[in-house]
Structure 1
């Protein structure tokens, strides 16, 4: 990706913007981009700082691993400097615990906004929170060395960073349950064949493949892409007849806009 002055560069997250394309990069390869509450807050901030010109957001990571998941310090009594440990959180009230997890989730929610298309470029390990961060994006392009795994269940936890909904939507309930319950690795070929990934390429071609995909997305008229994304995202919650109605309403808006006819 092009070298640009960062809009944000903190806590293992860097945001750069090149007119219509924003790039969010995980920048702690020495720790395999392990995640922490500070990183999650930085991800939230990156979403808040996106200019209105941005149409495509690329999520990538430095080093050989996309993200090895949660930093294991989270499971120690000491936790992270300046942060409550997970043990401390467990001892708090239900309201406090719920609010804290909701805050953590915010870094994973904005990637599916209707006004942008997000693409995760995933290489090496994408485990636990790393897997869920890739799932937060609309599209995933993976290197042929990718290894997805959801290890939370084997640690006595559940995936709680918004990953369960897209995982079931992509691969179905039974396969999603098996992936989470076993914690096994899902590699590139299976990821593509099950719909978990859109495309797999050699690792040294990953950035180029994502750049090519972004260019194709940018070639589509922005309003038409926004309407299409909104239609598709809502399809699972609508009945067939409700989706027909939504399609008609969306097309009416597009036709009036193209014809220059006001509401």
Structure 2
């Protein structure tokens, strides 16, 4: 049975992990996740993605039994493939929202860190417990956690391996929103739908500017921003937004022009109606 399900809700797709009981990452789940990432990256009708592990938990990390059976050479290749797969999720051109329920530990947290926005249940627990096994995170934990929280907080979580409850996770910026358990997926879908109703090319450009410019020198980041600004300025959505502002004032534009590759899509205007007015 497939361990990954793609569930469509208009222009928003939920990428759901479905490998009970813990959504632990093994080679099969990793391969399916990579295939799903490639499918989503090429899907022009998809405007936002929600990562979800189900009502019980997000993901508990790597399959430790399978990991313990590997030698150094085998684990190096396995880790390289998982890191590459998570990079594919992080590089998706559309906004990605993680809906974190229950536990997001080890590779589960590393996957959530690939999202642009994280919604967590009020009883969620997040952490990188690898140090308690005598190993270290290998799929982005040391790097994405440091960029998100800063070196001191990242070292605290990485070196102690402790779990962080939702309230603290919100306070330190590990998650962006906390909602009652049982409403996480709905809240993530609502936020994703609001973004999906926006201008696709501009959202992709913002994501690229922040993700790639933030690690570069300021002059390099500004050059990237300038190039992205010029490129987006010629899109149909930019024309719609500027025209709407002049005619109706700010916040009235209804987007749905061609995606970044320049192809027209059908049904975007209707999707915009469906998502308009949703709140988180």
Q: TM-score, normalised by structure 2?
A: 0.77
Q: Which residue of 1 aligns with 2:34?
A: 44
Moved over 4 A (4+): none
Q: 1:213 to 1:130 in 2, by over 3 A?
A: same
Q: Which residue of 1 aligns with 2:148?
A: 170
Q: What SS does the corresponding residue of 1:42 show, helix, strand or coil?
A: helix
**Which is further off, 194-203 or 241-250?**
241-250
The answer on 1:244 being equivalent to 2:227 is: no
Q: 1:70 deviation in Å?
A: 2.1
* Contact 1:128 1:159 (C-alpha < 8 Å) held by counterparts: yes
User: Equivalents in 1 of 2:221, 2:84: separation in Å?
Assistant: 28
Q: Which residue of 1 aligns with 2:14?
A: 23
The answer on 1:54 being equivalent to 2:32 is: no
For structure 2, the 5+ residue unaligned runs are: 241-280
Q: 1:63 deviation in Å?
A: 4.0
Q: 1:259 deviation in Å?
A: 5.7
Q: 1:218 to 1:63 in 2, by over 3 A?
A: closer
1:1-263 alignment, distance < 5 Å: 10=2, 12-29=3-20, 31-50=21-40, 51-76=43-68, 85-86=69-70, 89-90=71-72, 92=73, 98-113=76-91, 115-257=93-235, 258=238
Q: TM-score, normalised by structure 1?
A: 0.82
For structure 1, the 5+ residue unaligned runs are: 1-8, 77-84
Q: What SS does the corresponding residue of 2:182 show, helix, strand or coil?
A: helix
* Contact 2:12 2:193 (C-alpha < 8 Å) held by counterparts: no
Q: Which residue of 1 aligns with 2:269?
A: none
